[in-house]
Amino acid sequence: MSAIRTVNAAGIAPPAGHYSHAALHNGVAYIAGLLPHVPGQAAPKPGTIEEQVRQVLANLDTVLKSVGSDRTRVLRVTAFVSDVSHWPTVNRVWAEFFGEHKPARCVVPVNELHYGYAIEIETTAACD
């Protein structure tokens, strides 16, 4: 049986609880829920939904790189969105980010997210 390895990516906010950014097992990275927190920013400042989507995807890029993967190897993403009226913006930025790659996706409307953010994503990706 192969070992499970955990990773915390440099360059984004460290986990705020008892978890890691990613757990790796048998060539798959299970990436924890990521918020659109700007690296180095002392306090959360949510910004517009477009800014939040771009930032959460930038944070995802950072974690993917840290586990030997990239956006073209993303298998599945669950997006938690605080208001479904944000969906057109989320989907547009998402399409720009992933380009021709279309990972499986689930969108879950929620009442609110931590720190007043409007989006959080968790991801599964193939990795080295």
Residue 117 burial class via C-beta count within 10 angstroms: exposed 0-12, middle 13-18, buried 19 and up: buried
Q: In what order do the strands lie in the sheet with 104-109?
A: 5-7, 22-25, 28-34, 119-126, 74-81, 104-109
Domain range for 115: 5-126
pLDDT 10s digits, 67-122: 999 999 999 999 999 999 999 999 999 999 999 999 999 999 998 899 999 999 99
Q: What is the CATH number for 113?
A: 3.30.1330.40
pLDDT of residue 44 exceeding 90 = no
How many domains does the chain divide into?
1
pTM here is: 0.94
pLDDT of residue 77: 97
pLDDT of residue 1: 67
